Amino acid sequence: MWGGRFGASPDAVMADINISIDVDRKLYRQDIAASKAHAAMLGKQGIISPQDAKQINHGLDTILSEIESGKFRFKRALEDIHMNVEARLAELIGPAAGRLHTARSRNDQVATDFRLWIRDTIDEIDAQLATYQRALAEKALANAATIMPGFTHLQTAQPVTFGHHLLAYVEMAARDRGRFADARRRLNESPLGAAALAGTSFPLDRALSAMALGFDRPAANSLDAVSDRDFVLETLAAAAITSVHLSRFAEEIVLWTSPLVGFVRLSDNFTTGSSIMPQKRNPDAAELVRAKTGGAIGALNALLIVMKGLPLAYQKDMQEDKDGAMQALSALSLCLAAMTGMVADMQPDAERMKAAAGAGYSTATDLADWLVRIHKIPFREAHHITGRIVAAAEKAGVSLEQLPLVDMQRIEPRITKDVSGVLSVERSVASRKTYGGTAPANVTREAKKWLKRLGKTA
């Protein structure tokens, strides 16, 4: 490949550190697609003969079939996917194979291949995120009126509905999809034809090969085209944030399925047992989703560190852009499948959730709001009054609903028996009707809206 300039073979260690075929063999579909587009363009421009272009296209189709059927033999001595494909092409069609590399370099070739791979992967992850959203919205619709405690600081705050809680993750996933879509839109420029770094003297039609590969346009600057890895960084950033969202939900599933909490039960499909304790039902899928988040964050950090000191244009450091990204995106895909499965599988314990929602004086804010609304008491004063009433109920060992009216009136004489209408968890959640609130009617409407939207984009 490059031996004309060298009189000796590389050291074995040099060969080991230099090869990338163990990783970039995953780019075979994209590499062959880009080569076919390049060859067709070369033929149309008269840079190679129509016969050579036809032979190259046929040979590349044969190689694709061989790889997908498992018959292709990857050779580490050939370093990367590009040279493995080109060498096999030479075996199949002879000297015409050597014309394929006219007016291109492995620099623009790998940049093109990896953009295509990232683009394909984004599309797959977006479809998975949509499926995950549907599972959440369906479960939310079924549990629009299932009451559970809402938390701040992991302390009981106010009653909410389970459906409302699940829809929060639908919103997170929507932002995740938006970030992936943004990354996809910006990456959709073709580096092909930028060659090593300066472009080429051959009369290429870069727009033609870009269009053949589904790119919006050719990259405008040849230096940037071969040295840019923003498209990987942006995708990894989106993946890291998505993974954090999944991890937060996974953490809640771990908490909810604990016998100490018991809000949710997972079936045998998404739990494991213990080798020594026969009673155990471990939420291992959720725990592993939580753990795999570190891989996505680590891959983003690693590539940022690789790129931070690189001058233009291509540097061999960039060969390290693929392994971490591929592993992180593969792990994200697996985590999305696991989380989608767990959402569909989980069964809430509505009675336990409701009982927990009523504990911890979670309707205290409703009492304070009632004082403001009915008696026009300033909220800060109402907050203080309610705090004293909560303390009295806690001392008596009863809930706010159970505290006798006379005890409340000792603290605030203006309180009447009508206050009982705001102290139940059912009344509390039903009253939260403002846009974005937890009222069952809101949740039903939002869940149906999401399901309709997701159905249209399926």
Pairing type for strands 217-218 and 189-190 reads parallel
Cα dihedral sign for 280, 286, 292, 293? negative
Q: 59: closest CA among 87, 78, 80, 82? A: 87
One of 49, 65, 267, 274 is an active-site residue; which one? 274
Q: What separation in angstroms does the CA of 42 have from each of 110, 190, 201, 427?
A: 18, 16, 13, 72
> Which residues have C-beta within 8 Å of that of residue 60, sequence separation ≥ 6?
32, 35, 36, 39, 85, 89
Pairing type for strands 189-190 and 147-152 reads unpaired
Per the annotation, the verdict on 274 as an active-site residue is yes
Cα dihedral sign for 374, 376, 382, 385? negative
Per the annotation, the verdict on 153 as an active-site residue is yes
Supply 419's token pair: 């206050």
Q: Which residues of 260-269 are buried (b: 16+ CB within 10 A; e: fewer)?
A: eeebbebeee
Supply 333's token pair: 């895909």
| CA atoms of 54 and 68, how far apart (whole Å) | 21
> Strand runs (DSSP E) across 202-254, as ranges?
217-218
| CA atoms of 240 and 301, how far apart (whole Å) | 10
| CA atoms of 206 and 222, how far apart (whole Å) | 11
One of 9, 153, 201, 275 is an active-site residue; which one? 153
| Residues facing residue 190 across a β-bridge | 218
Q: Which residues are catalytic?
A: 153, 274
